[in-house]
């Protein structure tokens, strides 16, 4: 595809050693880890005992109104 658009073909080795590839990859990983961490923290906070968003683990839906 690069040849069709007038570009040069890059070898696999040079592609894997390219700084731009690793920069973009680490940015993606960073955002994934951040969003996962936020979900974990929120799930712990919302399931905290006594929280209005929490219900006892063994409670049926009829007891909790859900």
Evaluate if residue 2 carries a pLDDT over 80.
Answer: no
Residue written as tokens 């399931």? Answer: 47
Per-residue model confidence as pLDDT tens digits over 3-60: 788 888 888 898 888 998 888 888 888 888 999 999 999 888 777 766 666 666 677 7
Contact 47, 54 (CB under 8 A): yes
Helical residues (DSSP H) of 1-66, grouped into ranges: 12-16, 19-46, 61-64
Q: pTM for the whole thing? A: 0.44
């Amino acid at each position: 595809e690069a040849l069709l658009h007038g570009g040069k073909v890059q070898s696999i080795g040079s592609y894997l050693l390219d700084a731009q590839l690793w920069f973009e990859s680490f940015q993606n990983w960073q955002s994934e880890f951040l969003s996962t961490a936020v979900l974990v923290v929120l799930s712990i906070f919302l399931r905290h005992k006594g929280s209005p968003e929490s219900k006892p683990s063994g409670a049926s839906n009829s007891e909790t109104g859900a």
